[in-house]
Amino acid sequence: MLQQRYALITGASKGIGKQTAHLFAKNGANLLLVARDIDTLVSLRDELQEFSINVDIFSCDLTDENEIKSLFIKIKKVTKVIDIVVNNAGIIKSSMFSMTNSDTLKDMFQTNLYAPYILTQYATRMMRKSPYASVIFISSMMATKGGIGHSAYASSKSALDGMMKSLAKELAPTIRVNAIAPGVVQTDMIKTLSEDEKEEYTSKSLFKRLATPNDIATVILFLASDMSKYITAELINVDGGIC
C-alpha cells in the first residue's frame, strides 16, 4: 500500500508510533524513525530487518528547534522527498487545573504543539514533489471532550486540531492534512492511570475494552494511503465510542 514512499514517524520508539512503524513496514514504506532514546530505535530497526525496506533512525529531542533543523539536514542525506509525516510524539502530565504550574503548561505545549508545528514546517518543504503527500497529527479525545486533570494536555491537543484544519486549507491540494483522536490506548502513556480509572474508561467504551496501539495504527495507515485520497482537514475519533 505504501511501496516506495518515505514515511517520517515521530515518537516511533514506543506505543502507537512503534506499531505504526511495523504496519507501515509491512506495507512497504521506507521509514524515517524519530525519538529521543536511540537504543529503543536501534532495537526497532533490528525488528524491522525482515522487511525489504530502508529504515533510518534519528535521535532527536523535538522540543529543541535546533535539533529539528539538524534532523532535517540528516534526513536530506537519506531522501530528497518525504511522502508521509506522522506527528505522533507526545507527552501527558496530569494535574488539576489549580495545581498546574506554567512550566507544566509550557512542557505540554512545547512537545504536543510547537514541536509538530515546527517539524511540519520543515517536512512540508520536502513533500511538495510527492504525489502522495499526507500529514497526520495524533491528537486525543481529550481535545474535544476534556477530562478531569487534563486541562493542559487537552488544550495542547485542541490547539493541534486547529492547526491541522488551517494547514489542510493552506496546503491543499498538494498535501492532505488530517488528525486522529484516540481514546485511551494501552501504551506506556497510561501507566499513570489507576486501575479504577482504566476500568472506568473500559466500561465507557462501547466495545468494553481499551484501544490497542494497532487500533490507532490501522487508521494512521488509512490516512497515509491512497484509500483516503479525498479526505483532508478531517479529525477521526478512534475512541470506541467513549462518551
Partner 1 sequence: MQTEKLKQVFIEALGIDKNTNIENLEYNTIDEWDSVAHMNLIGEIEDAFEIMLDTDDIIDMSSFTKAKEIVSKYLKG
Ligand X SMILES: NC(=O)c1ccc[n+]([C@@H]2O[C@H](COP(=O)([O-])OP(=O)(O)OC[C@H]3O[C@@H](n4cnc5c(N)ncnc54)[C@H](OP(=O)(O)O)[C@@H]3O)[C@@H](O)[C@H]2O)c1
Q: Is 122 in the site for partner 1 (CB under 8 A)?
A: yes
Binding mask 14-53 for ligand X (x = CB under 6 A): xxxx-----------------xxx--x-------------
Q: Is 184 in the site for ligand X (CB under 6 A)?
A: yes
Nearer to ligand X, 134 or 140 (CB): 140
Calculate ∠ Cα 181-177-106, nearest 5°.
60
Residues whose CB falls within 8 Å of the CB of residue 172, separated by 6 or more in sequence, listed in order: 232, 233
Q: Is 152 in the site for ligand X (CB under 6 A)?
A: no
Q: 106 is in the binding site of which of ligand X, partner 1, none (Cβ under 5 to 8 A by kind)?
A: none
Q: How far apart are CA 25 and CA 48, in angstroms?
A: 7
Q: How far apart are CA 217 and CA 223, in angstroms?
A: 10
Q: How far apart are CA 36 and CA 135, in angstroms?
A: 21
φ, ψ dihedrals at 93, nearest 5°:
-135, 115
Q: Is 169 in the site for partner 1 (CB under 8 A)?
A: no
φ, ψ dihedrals at 178, nearest 5°:
-140, 170
Task: Out of 1, 81, 91, 105, name the contact with ligand X by CB under 6 A.
Answer: 91
Residues whose CB falls within 8 Å of the CB of residue 203, separated by 6 or more in sequence, listed in order: none
The distance of closest approach from Cβ of residue 131 to ligand X in the complex, given in angstroms and rounded to an integer, is 28
Q: 91 is in the binding site of which of ligand X, partner 1, none (Cβ under 5 to 8 A by kind)?
A: ligand X
**Catalytically annotated residue among 6, 122, 132, 153:** 153
Known active-site residue 153: yes
Q: How far apart are CA 197 and CA 201, in angstroms?
A: 6
* Residues near ligand X, by CB under 6 A: 10-17, 35-37, 40, 60-63, 88-92, 111, 138, 140, 182, 184-185, 187-190
Interface residues with partner 1 (CB under 8 A) are: 69, 72-73, 76, 80, 118, 121-122, 124-126, 128-129, 170
